[in-house]
């Protein structure tokens, strides 16, 4: 899989991945790292928000159902903070139209339903970053 | 004296039982914890290739091959993790993991386990076959729809969904109405929802089934999947079905996929001699349909004795553009119209 477009000498694009499911967290981290991204992976919403505040990434992949703060809560905090333009992709097993509507209403840029294709997830991440540039 | 001794004895027995229960719970948890630790230890060398395959990065097939080499208890633990992983990913990586299960003989073992005496083994076997999309096991899974255990029947139905063979649609639908060993309507609907367009004829047949729950699921899915060929059956159910829930479901489905000619039939069932739930379903369906021919009937319903129905009529008119809006002129102060406008603005704000 090709690396994200851009200057090869530039520092890699930073992506925050938050999921309480270790399988998904590990495979998304691996997939994005292989594609050239610098990934910080965390296991819950509170850690996600702390990581975001400490060093805002250029994109975030958030699970919706996480202990403590949900992905929707973290997304809301991101949008209410000084970073309304950081692209956020929600990854969730919640597949009803109303769940997807809620995600976009709070400010998600994309919504991927589990079970998901890792390849498709990477294409979406690449696309979101390309549009954000 | 005897009474006091009896009381002390009973207290001692109860305390002893409580203590035993606590010891039992602690022992079970300790055993589970130790088993989890053992599994993690056994899986740890296989975790990197598993993640490589699951993420779709095993271009040369080396990681897949490494997984196929697992033997003994490690293989059992790995296969369990692969099955769990299959609930989370799809596409080529999922196919590669299924291949590992096949090489390990897990798919064949699951076929054998479908007739195991253990309910848990039968249910897990059905789940694995579904996740592995083992098309050749469809007849076995169809048989499992009649299993004596509800969890096995549910697992078989959920397995048949992702396999997607329309041949299974009829048995899944029929299982809803099976006496004693039936399938929950929601489970059947979810399984059928996953199947392709090949199920439309099965749904049409299902709308003629003697069991009302089967007719309801068939009508509901015909609307959800926009199977317009089922419209004649839906109209018949709305007109004549003895079960009011089936009629409501049919009205909703007609609202989703109906045509201008369906305004008349929906309006016909908004009259106050019909059950209230059906009248409301028809008004909502008229709004969904959005045909201006429904405006006069909806305008009349603004004065209905049921405030909720009047509000639904106002909501329907609000979605019908200029025709609907002009019908609301002169009714701005009606509680139903104010309420409908408020609901519409709240929905806009939350969208």
How confident is the model at residue A8, as a pLDDT? 61
**Cα gap B251→B246, rounded to integer Å:** 9
Residue span of the structural domain in which B272 resides: 259-351
The minimum CA-CA distance between A76 and chain B, rounded to whole Å, is: 13
Q: Which residues of B touch A115 (CB under 8 A)?
A: 86-90, 94
How confident is the model at residue B45, as a pLDDT? 93
pLDDT of residue A9 exceeding 70 = no
Q: What domains can you pick out in chain A, each with its CATH number? A: 14-132 (3.40.50.2300)
Compute CA A110 distance to the chain's CA centroid, rounded to the nearest angstrom.
Answer: 9
Tell me the torsion sign for CA atoms B188, B193, B199, B202: positive
Crossing angle between the packed helical segments B276-289 and B307-318, to the nearest 10 degrees: 10
Does residue A120 belong to the interface with chain B, where contact is any CB pair within 8 Å? Answer: yes
Domain-located, residue B313: yes
Of residues B7 and A121, more confidently modeled:
A121
Of B121, A130, B41, the residue nearest A110 (C-alpha): A130
How confident is the model at residue A4, as a pLDDT? 60
Query: Are B91 and A119 in contact (CB < 8 Å)?
Result: yes
Which chain B residue is nearest to residue A35, measuring alpha carbons? B57
**Cα gap A119→B170, rounded to integer Å:** 35
| Position A6 confidence tier, pLDDT thresholds 50, 70, 90 | low
Q: Which residues of A touch B53 (CB under 8 A)?
A: none
Please name the residue that has the structure tokens 């903070």.
A81
The minimum CA-CA distance between A52 and chain B, rounded to whole Å, is: 24
Domain-located, residue B347: yes
Domain-located, residue B284: yes
**Cα gap A121→A30, rounded to integer Å:** 12
Query: Are B54 and A116 in contact (CB < 8 Å)?
Result: no
Average pLDDT of chain A is: 91
The minimum CA-CA distance between A9 and chain B, rounded to whole Å, is: 24
Cβ count within 10 A of residue B275? 13
Of B179, B182, B222, B216, the residue nearest B201 (C-alpha): B222
Flag the least confident range among A3-7, A128-132, B127-131: A3-7
Does residue A124 belong to the interface with chain B, where contact is any CB pair within 8 Å? Answer: no
Phi-psi bin for B154: left (phi > 0), alpha (psi -120 to 50), beta? alpha
Mutate: best of A2, A22, A23, A25, partner B, most B CBs <10 A: A23
How confident is the model at residue A2, as a pLDDT? 44
Query: Are A115 and B51 in contact (CB < 8 Å)?
Result: no
Flag the least confident range among A7-16, A52-61, B86-95, B145-154: A7-16
Which B residues 85-144 touch A at CB under 8 Å? 85-94
Cβ count within 10 A of residue B109? 14
Domain-located, residue B214: no
Query: Are B93 and A118 in contact (CB < 8 Å)?
Result: yes
CA distances from A73 to A45, A49, A90, A107, B38 (A): 8, 9, 11, 11, 36
Extract the tokens encoding B139: 């007849």
Q: What is the ipTM of this complex?
A: 0.90
**Cα gap B234→B236, rounded to integer Å:** 5
Which of A1, A30, A116 is facing B89, going by the closest CB pair? A116
Sheet order of strands, A88-92 included: A38-42, A14-18, A59-63, A88-92, A110-113
Does residue A119 belong to the interface with chain B, where contact is any CB pair within 8 Å? Answer: yes
**Cα gap A70→B306, rounded to integer Å:** 40
How confident is the model at residue B95, as a pLDDT? 96
Tell me the torsion sign for CA atoms A116, A117, A122, A124: negative
Residue B274: which CATH number?
A: 1.25.10.10
Does residue A117 belong to the interface with chain B, where contact is any CB pair within 8 Å? Answer: yes
How confident is the model at residue A1, as a pLDDT? 43
- Give this prediction's pTM: 0.80
| Position A7 confidence tier, pLDDT thresholds 50, 70, 90 | low
Query: How far does chain B reach from its first CA to its final CA, in angstroms?
Result: 75
Are B42 and B74 a contacting pair, CB within 8 Å?
yes
Domain-located, residue B321: yes
How confident is the model at residue A3, as a pLDDT? 47
Query: Are B90 and A115 in contact (CB < 8 Å)?
Result: yes
Are B301 and B267 a contacting pair, CB within 8 Å?
no
Three-state SS for B32-92 is HHHHHHHHHHHHCCCHHHHHHHHCCCCCCCHHHHHHHCCCHHHHHHHHHHHHHHHCCECCH
**Cα gap B254→B269, rounded to integer Å:** 13
Average pLDDT for residues A28-45, to the nearest whole number?
A: 97
Does residue A65 belong to the interface with chain B, where contact is any CB pair within 8 Å? Answer: no
pLDDT of residue A28 exceeding 80 = yes
Domain-located, residue B124: no
Query: If chain B, 351 residues long, is cut into consecutive pieces of 10 residues, what is the mean pLDDT of each piece?
Result: 80 89 88 85 92 96 95 94 96 96 97 97 97 96 95 96 91 90 91 86 94 95 90 96 96 93 96 96 95 94 93 92 86 84 78 54
Are B53 and B93 a contacting pair, CB within 8 Å?
yes
Does residue A97 belong to the interface with chain B, where contact is any CB pair within 8 Å? Answer: no
Does residue B40 belong to the interface with chain A, where contact is any CB pair within 8 Å? Answer: no
CA-derived radius of gyration, chain B:
28
Domain-located, residue B322: yes
Q: Which residues of B touch A114 (CB under 8 A)?
A: 88
**Cα gap A59→A62, rounded to integer Å:** 10
Are B130 and B158 a contacting pair, CB within 8 Å?
yes
How confident is the model at residue B133, as a pLDDT? 95
Average pLDDT for residues A63-76, to the nearest whole number?
A: 94
Domain-located, residue B267: yes
- The total number of structural domains in chain B stands at 1
């Amino acid at each position: 899989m090709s690396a994200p477009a851009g200057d090869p000498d530039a520092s890699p694009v930073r992506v925050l991945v938050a999921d309480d499911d270790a399988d998904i967290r590990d495979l998304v981290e691996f997939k994005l790292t292989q594609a050239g991204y610098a990934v910080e992976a965390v296991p819950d919403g509170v850690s996600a928000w702390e990581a975001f505040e400490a060093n805002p990434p250029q994109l975030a992949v958030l699970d919706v159902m996480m202990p403590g703060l949900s992905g929707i809560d973290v997304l809301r905090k991101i949008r209410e903070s000084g970073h309304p333009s950081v692209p956020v992709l929600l990854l969730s097993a919640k597949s009803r139209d109303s769940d997807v509507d809620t995600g976009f209403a709070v400010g998600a840029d994309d919504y991927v339903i589990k079970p998901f294709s890792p390849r498709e997830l990477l294409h979406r991440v690449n696309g979101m970053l390309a549009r954000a540039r | 004296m005897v009474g006091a001794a009896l009381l002390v004895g009973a207290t001692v027995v109860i305390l002893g039982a409580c203590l035993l229960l606590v010891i039992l719970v602690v022992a079970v948890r300790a055993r589970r914890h130790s088993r989890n630790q053992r599994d993690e230890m056994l899986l740890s060398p296989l975790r990197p290739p598993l993640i490589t395959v699951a993420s779709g990065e095993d271009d040369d097939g080396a990681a897949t091959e490494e997984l196929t080499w697992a033997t003994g208890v490690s293989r059992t633990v790995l296969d369990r993790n692969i099955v769990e992983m299959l609930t989370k990913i799809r596409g080529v990586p999922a196919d590669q993991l299924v291949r590992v299960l096949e090489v390990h003989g897990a798919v064949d073992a699951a076929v054998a386990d479908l007739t195991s005496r253990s309910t848990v083994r039968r249910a897990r076997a059905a789940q694995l076959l579904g996740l592995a999309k083992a098309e050749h096991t469809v007849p076995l899974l169809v048989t499992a729809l009649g299993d004596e255990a509800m969890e096995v029947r549910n697992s078989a139905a959920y397995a048949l969904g992702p396999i997607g063979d329309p041949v299974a649609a009829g048995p899944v639908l029929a299982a809803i109405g099976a006496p004693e060993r039936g399938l929950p309507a929601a489970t059947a609907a979810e399984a059928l929802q996953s199947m392709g367009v090949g199920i439309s004829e099965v749904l049409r047949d299902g709308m003629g089934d003697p069991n009302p729950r089967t007719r309801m699921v068939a009508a509901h899915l015909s609307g959800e999947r926009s199977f317009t060929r089922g419209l004649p059956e839906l109209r018949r159910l709305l007109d004549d079905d003895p079960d009011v829930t089936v009629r409501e479901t049919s009205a909703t489905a007609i609202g989703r996929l109906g045509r201008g000619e369906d305004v008349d039939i929906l309006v016909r069932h908004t009259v106050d001699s019909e059950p209230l739930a059906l009248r409301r379903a028809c008004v909502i369906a008229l709004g969904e349909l959005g045909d201006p021919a429904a405006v006069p009937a909806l305008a009349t319903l603004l004065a209905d004795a049921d405030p909720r129905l009047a509000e639904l009529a106002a909501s329907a008119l609000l979605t019908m553009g200029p025709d609907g809006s002009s019908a609301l002129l002169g009714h701005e102060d009606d509680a139903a119209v104010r309420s409908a406008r408020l609901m519409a603005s709240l929905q806009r704000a939350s969208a």
